[in-house]
């Protein structure tokens, strides 16, 4: 064991972030991770877990409308009691169909507040200098918008972190790096016209997957033009594509931006055998994402908030999430791919990625000297 001790923010209530039977986002996914963690690392010496409290309405008002908070609080309370009216829910202006829980769901709204609470704590602990790096397990609910919940996301904890860092700590240069397989439409919307937040998102081509946004031409508007960067990858894209985007785009832009803090999020849904997405990463590649985040943290004086929640193949959650974390903290961790992957490096996919990067450089060259 070398390097810093891993600090995880996690509270038992997060298990209640469970959309119930028949839904891909289940609470026991977190238990799977912690079981794997306990088996693999030593509690207290290798890692510590800090529990957090739910945030109050006044905190949520930083990212949500009052009407939305009122609606979801009531809606998920009824769902938790098994008294949900599906027909009413389907016609709701506040949530999408994939945010409607199935039977025996958990106390989702309360859990969502705890997840935002973890982000608040992460910001405070880093800004007070207690830690350089911190990981929120359950965080990264990037599809949630100010008055609309979708894509299994109720409150956008990432948007909360950036807004909170701007408000409380007067930060003016925040890098958000989204490596989830799906485009972070909620996070993008929050900061589309805001130059204080540089949002870089690498994901599966939105023409082939939910949420259907996150194209190269979406680069922000007004003062925020040039500060939203979407890197869509073709179906089946492997590590060579990621590495190309990291080295040719994300690294130079981060060096030029010099963020005061980096918020990276995304779990293991870019894995080749995920049940919801169709990218091509292996467990070992998730470690490389962690290592890359660690590398670019040289530009943010080491400050990183990391958040992990996605990944819908349950065999991948334990080793995949730990691979992300072990890369970030530069700790040794023996990686085994739980399923046999016949990796065929696909030249067409790699070529498509290079074309995408060329397009992005063209769109962004007036905003970033490093891309000229
Ligand atoms: Zn996802």
Could you report the per-residue pLDDT of 186-197, keeping only the tens digit for each? 999 999 999 999
Query: What is the full DSSP assignment across 273-319?
Result: T-SS----B-HHHHHHHHHHHHHHGGGGTT-EEEEE-----HHHHHH
Distance 267 CA to ligand 1 centre (A): 7
Distance 275 CA to ligand 1 centre (A): 11
Secondary structure of residue 116 in the 3-state scheme? helix
* pLDDT band at residue 87 using 50, 70 and 90 as cut-offs: confident
Q: How confident is the model at residue 344 (pLDDT cuts 50, 70, 90)?
A: low
- State the pLDDT at residue 121: 98
Domain presence at residue 282: yes
Give the residue-averaged pLDDT of 105-123.
98
Ligand 1 center from residue 210 Cα (angstroms): 9
For 228-277, write each residue's pLDDT tens digit: 999 999 999 999 999 999 999 999 999 999 999 999 999 999 999 999 99
Q: Tell me the CA–centroid distance for residue 182 and ligand 1, in Å.
A: 4
Asked whether the predicted pLDDT for residue 285 surpasses 70, the reply is yes
Q: Is the pLDDT of residue 342 over 90?
A: no
CA torsion sign, 328 to 123 to 49 to 13?
Answer: negative
Q: Are 272 and 285 in contact (CB under 8 A)?
A: no
Q: To the nearest whole number, what is the mean pLDDT of the chain?
A: 95
CATH code of the domain in which 215 resides: 3.40.800.20
Dig out the tokens for 14 from the structure: 């997060």
Instruction: Report the alpha-carbon distance of residue 369 to residue 12 in Å, rounded.
Output: 46
Q: How far is the CA of 313 from the centre of ligand 1 (A)?
A: 12
pLDDT of 135 strictly over 50: yes
Question: What's the pLDDT score for residue 4?
Answer: 82
End-to-end CA distance of the chain: 42
Ligand 1 centre distance from Cα of residue 151 (Å): 8
Separation CA 92–CA 75 (nearest Å):
10
- The encoded tokens of residue 372 equal 């000229």
Q: What is the mean pLDDT of residues 127-153?
A: 98
Q: Considering only 79-88, 92-101, 137-146, which range has the smallest mean pLDDT?
A: 79-88
Higher pLDDT, 65 or 44: 65
Domain count, the chain: 1
> What token pair was written down for 191?
């900061």
Q: Is 1 inside any structural domain?
A: no
* Structural domain for 57, as ranges: 6-371
**pTM exceeds 0.95 for this model:** yes
pLDDT recorded at residue 2: 47
Residues 6 or more apart whose CB falls under 8 angstroms from that of 66 comprise 57
pLDDT at position 355 over 80? yes
Does residue 275 belong to any structural domain of this protein?
yes
> pLDDT tens-digit profile of 289-337?
999 999 999 999 999 999 999 999 999 999 999 999 999 999 988 888 8
CA of 2 to the centre of ligand 1 (A): 31
Rounded to an integer, the average pLDDT of 65-89 is 91
Percent of the chain with pLDDT over 70: 98
Give the per-residue pLDDT at 3: 61
| Torsion angle, alpha carbons of 12, 17, 23, 26, to 10 | -20
DSSP state of 369: G
| Closest among 113, 68, 73, 69 to 94, alpha carbons compared | 68
Q: How far is the CA of 310 from the centre of ligand 1 (A)?
A: 6
**Do 154 and 144 contact (CB within 8 A), yes or no?**
yes
Nearest to 8 by CA among 338, 333, 328: 328
343 falls in which pLDDT band (50, 70, 90)?
A: low
Question: How far is ligand 1, taken at its centre, from the CA of residue 42, in Å?
Answer: 29
Ramachandran bin of 60, using left for φ above 0, alpha for ψ from -120 to 50, beta for the remaining angles: alpha
Residue 372 burial (CB count, 10 A): 8
DSSP assignment of 121-177 equals: HHHHHHHTTS-SEEEEET---TT-BTTBBBTTBSS-HHHHHHHHHHHHH----EEEE
**Token pair 């590398």 is at which residue?**
295
Two tokens, residue 262:
């980096």
Q: Look at 207 and 43; give whichever has higher pLDDT.
A: 207
């Amino acid at each position: 064991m070398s390097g810093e001790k891993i600090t995880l923010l996690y509270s038992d209530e997060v298990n209640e972030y469970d959309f119930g039977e028949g839904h891909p986002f289940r609470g026991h996914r977190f238990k799977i991770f912690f079981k794997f963690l306990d088996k693999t690392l030593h509690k207290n010496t290798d890692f510590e877990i800090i529990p957090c409290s739910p945030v109050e309405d006044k905190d949520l008002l930083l990212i949500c409308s009052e009407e939305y908070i009122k609606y979801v609080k009531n809606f998920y309370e009824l769902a938790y009691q098994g008294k949900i009216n599906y027909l009413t829910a389907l016609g709701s202006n506040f949530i999408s169909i994939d945010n409607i829980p199935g039977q025996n769901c958990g106390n989702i709204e309360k859990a969502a507040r705890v997840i935002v609470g973890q982000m608040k704590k992460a910001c405070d602990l880093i800004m007070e200098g207690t830690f350089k790096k911190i990981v929120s397990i359950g965080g990264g609910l990037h599809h949630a918008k100010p008055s609309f919940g979708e894509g299994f996301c109720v409150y956008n904890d990432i948007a909360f972190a950036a807004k909170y860092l701007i408000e409380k700590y007067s930060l003016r240069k925040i890098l958000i790096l989204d490596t989830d397989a799906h485009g972070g439409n909620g996070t993008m919307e929050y900061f589309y016209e805001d130059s204080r937040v540089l949002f870089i998102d690498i994901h599966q081509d939105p023409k082939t997957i939910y949420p259907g946004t996150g194209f190269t031409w979406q680069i922000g508007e007004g003062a925020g033009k040039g500060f939203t960067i979407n890197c869509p990858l073709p179906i089946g894209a492997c590590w060579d594509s990621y590495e190309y985007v990291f080295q040719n785009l994300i690294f130079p832009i981060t060096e030029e931006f010099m963020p005061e803090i980096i918020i990276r999020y995304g779990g293991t849904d870019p894995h080749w055998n995920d049940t919801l997405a169709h990218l091509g990463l292996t467990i070992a590649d998730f470690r490389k994402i962690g290592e890359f985040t660690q590398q670019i943290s040289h530009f943010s004086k080491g400050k990183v908030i990391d958040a992990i929640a996605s990944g819908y193949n349950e065999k991948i959650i334990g080793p995949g999430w730990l691979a992300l974390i072990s890369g970030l903290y530069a700790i040794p961790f023996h990686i085994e791919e739980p399923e046999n992957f016949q990796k065929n490096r696909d030249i067409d996919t790699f070529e498509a990625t290079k074309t995408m990067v060329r397009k992005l450089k063209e769109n962004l060259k007036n905003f970033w000297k490093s891309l000229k």
